[in-house]
């Protein structure tokens, strides 16, 4: 084949490719034009439709008898989209009015229904509302657990009635705090739906204040106490104390804020401060320390309790091991620091001879290791009248 023939074949191939390219371009323009006409057709040419989109009502369109705010369904849809895009940066959708309400709710709200439990152990049941960066967290602290949620929606149900909503972190189920607030925002009645296991219905809560805290502490402290030798010490709600071997004196409770420990401030005849004591009050135990050097001044037990002899038996065993209550622990059972490590002491009643049975269990060994296998438990029989102690596990008199 000569050069001329080859050039002719290439020329025919080039014309064919140019023709295909022009045909494809024409189809693209034709499709774009059709799509544009269809879009225009959707809007329509009727004058009655020129001011509205194709949908019946926009999310913010005002309808008679409705609010201009987005509906709950739309809020939920937006929230779900936010969750899908970034679960760690969930949008709260709270407006200025919501934020103002939550700022008034911020703090702790005490459940004071069980007066005896409060007297013995302090306030262990409460609601707290805290601000974390730009979010508000509401928590329900049950005596044995706590559940907290980030508030993502506030619904006003009526005069001073609100619902705080969110979704459970792990379950994805809705969680609600329904609140009926007093006009002064100092108390509220709450119905709380967290899950089937934890549910409150119309429980009254009182907001924390320094005056409320002092009143609670004074009620808890008031009463008669005994030391290891059964000498009497007493505190009265009107602020008068009587300690064995000393003249009576006036006192007050000092508590700076919700998280701080309380103090007993003693006054002389001229009403000037003469001493200050920190104290630890849990169950049947009252431990009083010098506020200056943290040394134990008095180790007492309640005298006005049917369990006071059991506590005396525990105190006698504790003394044998130089065990001192760890005042940093404030749950339901005192923890002791001793030569055996961190220990618990409990009394399980009396035997046929009227001796009290005290069980010593080690929680943490002196080297700091956890006693996961429950090793080293010991049992004692205690005659509180003679103060004689016999170790049951070895049948040895340890006096």
286 neighbors 303 (Cβ within 8 angstroms): no
> How sure is the predictor about 385, in pLDDT bands with cuts at 50, 70 and 90?
confident
Tell me which range, 80-84, 251-255, 391-395, is most confidently predicted by mean pLDDT. 251-255
> How sure is the predictor about 250, in pLDDT bands with cuts at 50, 70 and 90?
very high
The region, left, alpha or beta by phi > 0 then psi within -120 to 50, assigned to residue 185 is: left
190 neighbors 178 (Cβ within 8 angstroms): yes
* For range 61-78, the mean pLDDT: 37
Torsion sign, CA atoms 106, 83, 71, 198: negative
The residue ranking higher by pLDDT, 34 or 226, is 226
Give the integer Cα–Cα distance in Å for 252 and 265: 5
3-state secondary structure of 218: helix
Q: Two tokens at 1?
A: 């084949």
Q: What is the pLDDT of residue 81?
A: 39
Q: What percent of the chain has pLDDT over 70?
A: 68
pLDDT in tens, 131-172: 998 889 888 886 556 667 788 889 999 999 999 987 655 545
Lowest mean pLDDT among 64-78, 151-165, 290-304, 308-322: 64-78
Is the pTM value of this prediction over 0.75?
A: no
Strand order from edge to edge, sheet including 336-338 = 324-325, 336-338, 341-350, 356-364, 378-383, 388-391, 396-397
pLDDT in tens, 201-212: 899 999 999 999
Q: Kindly report the CA angle at 208 between 281 and 237, in degrees rounded to 5?
A: 45
Give the integer Cα–Cα distance in Å for 320 and 323: 8
């Amino acid at each position: 084949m000569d050069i001329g023939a080859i050039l002719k074949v290439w020329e025919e191939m080039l014309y064919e490719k140019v023709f295909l390219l022009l045909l494809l371009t024409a189809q693209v323009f034709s499709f774009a034009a059709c799509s544009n006409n269809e879009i225009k057709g959707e809007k329509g040419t009727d004058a009655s439709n020129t001011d509205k989109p194709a949908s019946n009502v926009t999310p913010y369109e005002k309808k008679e008898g409705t609010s201009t705010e987005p509906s709950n369904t739309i809020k939920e849809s937006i929230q779900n989209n936010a969750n899908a895009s970034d679960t760690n940066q969930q949008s709260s959708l709270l407006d200025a009015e919501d934020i103002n309400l939550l700022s008034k709710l911020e703090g702790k709200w005490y459940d004071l229904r069980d007066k005896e439990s409060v007297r013995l152990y302090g306030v262990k049941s409460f609601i707290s509302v805290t601000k974390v960066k730009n979010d508000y967290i509401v928590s329900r602290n049950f005596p044995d657990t706590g559940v907290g949620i980030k508030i993502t929606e506030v619904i006003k149900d009526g005069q001073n009635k609100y619902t705080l909503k969110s979704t459970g972190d792990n379950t994805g189920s809705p969680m609600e705090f329904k609140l009926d607030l007093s006009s002064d925002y100092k108390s509220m009645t709450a119905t709380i739906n967290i899950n089937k296991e934890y549910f409150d219905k119309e429980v009254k809560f009182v907001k924390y204040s320094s005056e409320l805290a002092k009143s609670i502490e004074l009620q808890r402290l008031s009463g008669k106490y005994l030391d290891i030798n059964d000498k009497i010490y007493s505190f009265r709600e009107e602020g008068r104390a009587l300690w064995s071997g000393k003249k009576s004196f006036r006192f007050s409770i000092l508590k700076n804020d919700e998280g701080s420990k309380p103090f007993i401030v003693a006054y002389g005849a001229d009403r000037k401060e003469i001493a200050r004591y920190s104290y630890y009050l849990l169950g049947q135990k009252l431990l009083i320390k010098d506020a200056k050097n943290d040394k134990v001044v008095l180790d007492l037990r309640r005298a006005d309790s049917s369990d006071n002899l059991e506590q005396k038996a525990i105190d006698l065993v504790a003394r044998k091991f130089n065990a001192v209550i760890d005042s940093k622990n404030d749950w339901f059972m005192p923890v002791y620091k001793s030569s055996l490590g961190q220990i618990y002491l409990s009394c399980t009643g009396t035997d046929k001879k009227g001796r009290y049975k005290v069980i010593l269990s080690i929680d943490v060994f002196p080297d700091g290791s956890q006693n996961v296998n429950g090793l080293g438990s010991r049992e004692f029989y205690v005659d509180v009248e003679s103060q004689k102690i016999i170790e049951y596990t070895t049948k040895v008199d340890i006096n």
